[in-house]
C-alpha cells in the first residue's frame, strides 16, 4: 500500500476556483478517472478526476474552499507499486489529467452569417476530443436562451460536457440530434435575435490550459457583435427558463436512474442540484413520500392520489398484414401524431360522459338564411356555428363550472370566453380559438372563423391561434351523422358536438309540425361537472338556439 496525494491539475485560465461539490468521502473506493470534486469559477464548472485507483484516506477540501493548480484534494491509499507505476507513466497528477477533466466548456462559438441573419452556433474547442456524441438536447426551436445557457450535452468516453450558448436569442434551428457525433467547428444551431455577450467572454477558454483557446473563426467576435439586435425578452415559464442547475455528472446520474431533474429541488449553492438531492428524491418516490409529475398525471389528484393499478393491457397486436393482401405504409402526419397523443391522454385521464339532446333551430336557420341574403355582397357568410359560439358563451356565463380547468385539487374559473372550434384539415384535426367571443358579434365571429379555418387548411395556424380555449365546439353538421362522443380538449372540461340538422315531425300540442332539429352531444368531465348540470347546460343551450332573443335576457 502507498499513499498518493491527488492534486488539482492544470485547470487552465483560472487562479482560484471554489469547491462546490464533494463527490467522494473518506473510505470510498475510487477508480482511476473517477470524479472526486466539482469546482466552479465564474465561467465554468469542472470535475476533478482521480489519477489513480484506490481508497480515499483523507479529504483535504470542503465545499466552499478555494483551490488552484497543485492544491491537494485528498490522499488516496493505492495498491503497492501502483503509485509509482502511475507516476512512471505520466507526470505528477498536477500536470496530468487535463484530458479527463469533465467540464462545462466555453460558450459555443458564435459566427454571424449576415448582419441581420441568424447567428451560427458552432462547437467550441472542447479539448482533446473527437467525434463526441450528442446525448441530450436541452433546448428546442422556439426556446429563448440566455448567454451561457446550456444548449446540449455531449459525451465522450471520458467526460460529459454541456455546450452553452454564446449569446441570448431564440433558437431558430437545431442542426444536431441525439446520437449525432460532433467535432470542433461543427454547426450545431442557429440563433435568431441574438445579441452576443462581450466578445472577450466568448473567446476566453474555460478549458484546461493544455487545450488551445476556442478556435473562433477570425471574424467571429467582431462580426458577432455587429449582429447584436434586440434580444427577445426572457419569458419566465418557458421550458428552458427552468432548466435544472446541475453538473454534468449529476445529470448523468439522474438520467441513469430516470429521475426527472426538473422536479428535484437543489440544495447546493445557487440552487444547484447535487447527487444527494437526486438520491433523496429517488428515496422519497420509492417510499411513496413523493410522486413524480408523470406518475401524478397518470393518477390525477382527484382520483385519490395515484394508488390505482396500471392499465395492465395486453400488448398491441402485431400482425403481418401483407400476409392477407397487398398493403402500403404511410407515416402519420405531424398534426396526427401531436393530436393523437393529446386525444389519447385526454380519453384515458378524463372520465367522459356524453349527454345527447336536440335543439329546434327552425327559426334560427330561417334568420341565418335571410341574413346571408341581405348581406350577400359583404363577402361574409354567417354560419350556424357562429350562433352556437355565441350560445356557448351565454351558457358558460350561466354555468361557470363549464368555463373552468382542473389544477390539482383546485378549479380555475375563467372570466374570459375563448371558444375553440374543431376544424378538419387535409393533415388532421386542429382547434383554432375565437378569442373574447363574448365581445364579438355574429358577423365578426363568422368572419374570424372563416379566416382561421382557411389558415388551418393551409397549415398556417400559429400556436397562439390554438391557445387559451375555454370550451370547444366540434361541428360535423356540414358532413352528416346523428350523435357522437367528442373528446374533451384538456384542460377544458367540456365540449359540444353537433351533427347535421334535419327536418323532423314535432308535436306542437295539436299536431305534428315539420321542424329543423339539430342533434347535440355534450361531453363533460365528471370530475368537475355532474350529470344534472350537464343536462341543464344542454337544455339552456338548446333553448337559446330555439329562440335566439333569449340571449339578450
Ligand atoms: N346541419 C346541417 N347543415 C349544416 C350544419 C348543420 N349542423 N352545419 C353546417 N351545415 C351546412 C352549412 O350551412 C353549409 O351549407 P351551405 O354550403 O349550403 O351553406 C355546409 O354545411 C358546409 O358548412 P361548413 O362545414 O363549411 O361550415 P361550418 O361553419 O359548419 O363549419 C368548420 C366550419 C371549419 C367547423 C368545418 O368545415 C369543419 O372542419 N368541420 C369538421 C369538424 C370536425 O372534424 N369535427 C370532428 C372532431 S372529432 O374528430
pLDDT of 47? 79
Residue 476 beta carbon below 6 angstroms from any ligand 1 atom? yes
Counting from 1 in the atom list of ligand 1, the atom nearest the Cα of 429 is: 44
Residue 456 beta carbon below 6 angstroms from any ligand 1 atom? no
Confidence of residue 13 (pLDDT cuts 50, 70, 90): low
Answer yes or no: is pLDDT of 103 > 50: no
pLDDT of 128? 65
When pLDDT is averaged across residues 425-446 and rounded to a whole number, the result is 96
Cell of 84: 509509482
197-210 tens-digit pLDDT: 433 333 232 223 23
Residue 478 beta carbon below 6 angstroms from any ligand 1 atom? yes
When pLDDT is averaged across residues 4-28 and rounded to a whole number, the result is 83
Counting from 1 in the atom list of ligand 1, the atom nearest the Cα of 421 is: 35
Answer yes or no: is pLDDT of 404 > 90: yes
List the catalytic residues: 526
How far apart are the CA of 520 and the centre of ligand 1, in A? 14
How far apart are the CA of 363 and the centre of ligand 1, in A? 19
Confidence of residue 79 (pLDDT cuts 50, 70, 90): confident
The span from the CA of 312 to the CA of 315, in Å, is 9
478-499 tens-digit pLDDT: 999 999 999 999 999 999 999 9
Confidence of residue 114 (pLDDT cuts 50, 70, 90): very low
Residues 6+ away with beta carbon under 8 Å from 253: 275, 278
Lowest average pLDDT, out of 12-21, 377-386, 493-502, 544-553, goes to 12-21
- The residues with which 111 forms a beta bridge, in sequence order, are 120
pLDDT of 420? 98
How far apart are the CA of 507 and the centre of ligand 1, in A? 28
Cα torsion for 438, 442, 539, 370, to the nearest 10°?
Answer: 160
Counting from 1 in the atom list of ligand 1, the atom nearest the Cα of 498 is: 7
Answer yes or no: is pLDDT of 295 > 60: yes
The span from the CA of 550 to the CA of 391, in Å, is 10
pLDDT of 330? 94
Cα separations in angstroms, 29 against 77, 79, 293, 547: 9, 12, 35, 82
Lowest average pLDDT, out of 23-27, 151-155, 255-259, 500-504, goes to 151-155
pLDDT greater at residue 178 or residue 94: 178
pLDDT of 448? 98
How far apart are the CA of 496 and the centre of ligand 1, in A? 14
Q: How many CB atoms lie within 10 A of CB 247?
A: 27
Burial category of 155 from C-beta neighbours within 10 Å (exposed 0-12, middle 13-18, buried 19 and up): middle
Answer yes or no: is pLDDT of 312 > 90: no
Which residue's CA is minimally distant from atom 26 of ligand 1?
478
pLDDT of 329? 95
Amino acid at each position: 500500500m502507498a499513499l498518493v496525494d491527488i492534486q488539482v491539475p492544470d485547470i487552465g485560465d483560472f487562479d482560484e476556483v471554489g469547491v462546490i461539490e464533494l463527490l467522494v468521502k473518506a473510505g470510498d473506493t475510487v477508480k482511476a478517472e473517477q470524479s472526486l470534486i466539482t469546482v466552479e469559477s465564474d465561467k465554468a464548472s469542472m470535475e476533478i478526476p482521480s489519477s489513480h485507483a484506490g481508497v480515499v484516506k483523507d479529504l483535504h477540501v470542503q465545499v466552499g474552499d478555494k483551490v488552484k493548480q497543485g492544491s491537494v484534494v485528498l490522499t488516496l491509499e493505492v495498491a503497492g507499486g501502483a503509485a509509482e507505476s502511475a507516476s512512471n507513466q505520466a507526470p505528477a497528477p498536477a500536470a496530468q489529467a487535463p484530458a479527463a477533466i469533465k467540464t462545462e466548456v466555453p460558450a459555443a462559438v458564435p459566427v454571424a452569417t449576415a448582419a441581420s441573419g441568424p447567428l451560427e452556433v458552432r462547437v467550441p474547442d472542447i479539448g482533446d476530443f473527437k467525434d463526441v456524441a450528442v446525448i441530450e438536447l436541452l433546448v428546442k426551436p422556439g426556446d429563448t436562451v440566455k448567454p451561457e445557457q446550456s444548449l446540449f450535452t455531449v459525451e465522450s468516453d471520458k467526460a460529459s460536457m454541456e455546450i452553452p450558448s454564446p449569446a441570448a436569442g431564440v433558437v431558430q434551428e437545431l442542426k444536431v440530434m441525439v446520437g449525432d457525433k460532433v467535432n470542433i467547428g461543427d454547426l450545431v444551431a442557429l440563433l435568431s435575435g441574438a445579441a452576443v455577450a462581450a466578445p472577450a467572454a466568448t473567446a476566453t477558454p474555460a478549458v484546461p490550459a493544455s487545450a488551445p483557446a476556442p478556435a473562433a473563426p477570425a471574424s467571429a467576435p467582431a462580426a458577432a457583435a455587429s449582429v447584436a439586435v434586440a434580444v427577445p425578452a426572457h419569458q419566465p415559464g418557458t421550458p428552458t427558463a427552468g432548466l435544472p442547475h446541475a453538473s454534468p455528472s449529476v445529470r448523468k446520474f439522474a438520467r441513469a436512474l430516470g429521475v426527472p431533474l426538473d422536479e428535484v429541488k437543489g440544495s447546493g449553492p445557487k440552487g444547484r442540484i447535487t447527487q444527494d438531492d437526486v438520491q433523496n428524491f429517488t428515496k422519497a418516490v420509492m417510499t411513496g413520500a413523493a410522486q413524480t409529475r408523470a406518475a401524478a398525471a397518470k393518477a390525477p389528484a382527484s382520483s385519490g392520489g395515484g394508488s390505482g393499478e396500471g392499465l395492465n393491457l395486453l400488448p398491441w397486436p402485431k400482425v403481418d398484414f401483407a400476409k392477407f393482401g397487398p398493403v402500403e405504409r404511410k407515416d402519420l402526419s405531424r398534426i396526427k401524431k401531436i393530436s393523437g397523443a393529446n386525444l389519447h391522454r385526454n380519453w384515458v385521464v378524463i372520465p367522459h360522459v356524453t349527454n345527447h339532446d336536440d335543439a329546434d333551430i327552425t327559426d334560427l336557420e330561417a334568420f341565418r338564411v335571410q341574413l346571408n341574403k341581405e348581406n350577400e355582397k359583404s363577402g361574409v357568410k354567417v354560419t350556424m356555428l357562429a350562433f352556437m359560439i355565441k350560445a356557448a358563451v351565454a351558457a358558460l356565463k350561466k354555468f361557470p363550472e363549464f368555463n373552468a380547468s382542473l389544477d390539482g385539487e383546485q378549479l380555475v374559473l375563467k372570466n374570459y370566453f375563448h371558444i375553440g372550434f374543431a376544424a378538419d384539415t387535409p393533415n388532421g384535426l386542429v382547434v383554432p380559438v375565437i378569442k373574447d367571443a363574448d365581445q364579438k358579434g355574429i358577423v365578426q365571429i363568422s368572419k374570424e372563423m372563416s379566416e382561421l379555418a382557411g389558415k388551418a387548411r393551409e397549415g398556417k395556424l400559429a400556436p397562439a391561434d390554438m391557445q387559451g380555449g375555454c370550451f370547444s365546439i366540434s361541428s360535423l353538421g356540414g358532413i352528416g351523422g346523428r350523435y357522437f362522443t367528442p373528446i374533451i380538449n384538456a384542460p377544458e372540461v367540456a365540449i359540444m358536438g353537433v351533427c347535421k340538422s334535419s327536418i323532423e315531425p314535432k308535436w306542437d300540442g295539436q299536431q305534428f309540425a315539420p321542424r329543423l332539429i339539430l342533434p347535440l352531444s355534450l361531453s363533460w368531465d365528471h370530475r368537475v361537472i355532474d350529470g344534472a348540470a350537464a343536462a341543464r347546460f344542454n337544455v339552456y343551450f338548446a333553448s337559446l338556439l330555439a329562440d335566439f332573443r333569449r340571449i339578450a335576457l
